[in-house]
């Protein structure tokens, strides 16, 4: 059976979905949410370190 993966890189939120067995389902992120904020932060505290999702969003506040 064929599988397909769709990634929506939105300006506010991003979503990943899988199509398998004639049905689609959204893949939850590591925190269990079906959507993930489309945010990344690059800091100078640790060279090469990036913060993503909730952590980057909180750092911007």
Q: Using one digit for the tens of pLDDT, what is the confidence trace for 17-35? A: 999 999 999 999 888 999 9
∠ CA 34-27-13, nearest 5°, is 40
* pLDDT of 15: 94
Give the number of other Cβ atoms within 10 Å of residue 36's Cβ.
19
3-state secondary structure of 56: helix
DSSP 59: H
CATH architecture of 3-60: 2-Layer Sandwich (3.30)
Angle at 47 between CA 15 and CA 11, to 5 degrees: 25
Q: Confidence class of residue 58 from pLDDT cuts 50, 70 and 90?
A: low
Does the pLDDT of residue 41 top 90, yes or no?
no
């Amino acid at each position: 059976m064929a599988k397909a993966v769709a990634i929506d890189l939105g300006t506010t939120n991003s979503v990943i979905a899988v199509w398998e067995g004639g049905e689609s389902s959204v893949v939850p992120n590591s925190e269990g949410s079906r959507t993930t904020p489309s945010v990344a932060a690059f800091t100078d505290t640790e060279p090469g370190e990036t913060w993503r999702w909730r952590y980057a969003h909180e750092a911007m506040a």
